[in-house]
């Protein structure tokens, strides 16, 4: 009887995904859901044929160089792969996959929550009611920024960006976008393409980031670019923390240049930036863009689809 490949599942993925994985693989599962050090990742690699990690496990530098030759594939439980040095892994003969498509709607849904919460001063209002401090009303009380009918700028019109655009149209928003290339008419759906990022910033009452973190996009939204946005605009980031110069954003929020921000990701994770917690005009969540039952199951299954294809001698659908 042929033995099953040994699969290391580095974090606590969905129960349905674990149940399926056990049918085809001898699984080592991190039921404690703790974070492994680089040394532990290297040590574990000698015991497994495949690794199913999340964004929390970093495969760069010495970690890649010291991975045991037994490891043949890293099937990421994520869309973003900035935690992986893909050229270095390929040079070691290790296949790398991700899980696109399946989390687009959930992430765009959360981005819209961030936008609404930031625009309508949800942090201030929630705190006020919870503390029993709501003892006043007037027409000038808790006035926020209206989303419906406003202009939204989207940076990165991939799957999540397109889902965000669909949501925005439901609110009657005028959609503008910047992307590496212009979309086809059927995907663009009337959105206004800006080949130049700076021209997009100038018309964005709301700006939502949906591009990957790369050396080119690190600190994409810096002080200079934030200054190009309309006064009182709202910045939303549900993509990667590295896209935003957080000090520049704080200055803009404190000065009133930006009226608010909605953030699901930060330069330092987990934990975030404690400076933001002092600002009532920042609506924050702990990087939970894809955190729905439906999406977590779909991500696990997509990663397993890639593993199944690989160990069947076929090319995984999401091979990078």
77, 121, 178, 287: the active-site residue: 287
Longest CA pairwise span in the chain (Å): 76
CB 59 within 8 A of CB 86: no
CA atoms within 13 A on the CB side of 64: 20
Known catalytic residue at 240: yes
CA distance 27 to 51: 10
Note if the bond before 270 is cis, omega within 30 degrees.
Answer: yes
CB 284 within 8 A of CB 271: no
11, 240, 296, 302: the active-site residue: 240
> What is the DSSP annotation of 233-256?
EEEEE-S-GGGB-HHHHHHHHHHT
CA distance 132 to 17: 43
CB 114 within 8 A of CB 285: yes
List residues bridging with 192 in a β-sheet.
176
Known catalytic residue at 269: yes
CA distance 299 to 287: 16
CA distance 269 to 287: 8
Nearest to 9 by CA among 26, 28, 33: 28
CB 63 within 8 A of CB 42: yes
Known catalytic residue at 169: no
Element containing residue 105 per DSSP (H, E)? helix 104-119
Which positions are catalytic? 240, 269, 287
């Amino acid at each position: 009887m042929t033995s099953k490949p040994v699969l290391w599942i580095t974090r606590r993925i969905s129960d349905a995904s674990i149940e399926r994985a056990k049918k085809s693989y001898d699984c080592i599962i991190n039921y404690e859901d703790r974070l492994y050090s680089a040394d532990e990742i290297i040590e574990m690699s000698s015991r497994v044929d495949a690794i199913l990690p999340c964004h929390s496990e970093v495969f760069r530098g010495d970690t890649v160089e010291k991975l045991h030759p037994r490891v043949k594939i890293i099937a990421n439980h994520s869309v973003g792969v900035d935690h992986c040095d893909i050229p270095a892994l390929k040079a070691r003969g290790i296949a790398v996959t991700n899980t696109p498509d399946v989390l687009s709607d959930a992430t765009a849904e959360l981005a819209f929550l961030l936008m609404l919460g930031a625009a309508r001063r949800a942090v201030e209002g929630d705190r006020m009611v919870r503390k029993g401090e709501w003892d006043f009303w007037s027409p000038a009380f808790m006035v926020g920024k209206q989303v419906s009918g406003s202009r939204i700028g989207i940076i990165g019109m991939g799957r999540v960006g397109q889902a965000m655009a669909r949501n925005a149209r439901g609110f009657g928003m005028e959609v503008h976008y910047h992307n590496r290339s212009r979309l086809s008419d059927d995907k663009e759906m009337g959105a206004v393409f800006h080949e130049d990022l700076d021209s997009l910033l100038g018309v964005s009452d709301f700006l939502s980031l949906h591009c990957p973190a790369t050396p080119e996009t690190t600190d994409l939204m810096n002080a200079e670019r934030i200054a190009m946005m309309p006064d009182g605009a709202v910045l939303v980031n549900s993509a990667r923390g590295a896209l935003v110069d957080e000090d520049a954003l704080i200055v803009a929020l404190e000065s009133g240049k930006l009226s608010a921000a909605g953030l699901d990701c930060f330069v330092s994770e987990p934990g975030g930036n404690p400076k933001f917690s002092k600002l009532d005009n920042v609506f924050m969540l702990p990087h939970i863009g894809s955190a729905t039952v439906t999406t977590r199951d779909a991500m696990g299954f997509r990663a397993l689809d890639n593993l199944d294809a690989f160990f069947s001698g076929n090319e995984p659908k999401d091979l990078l």
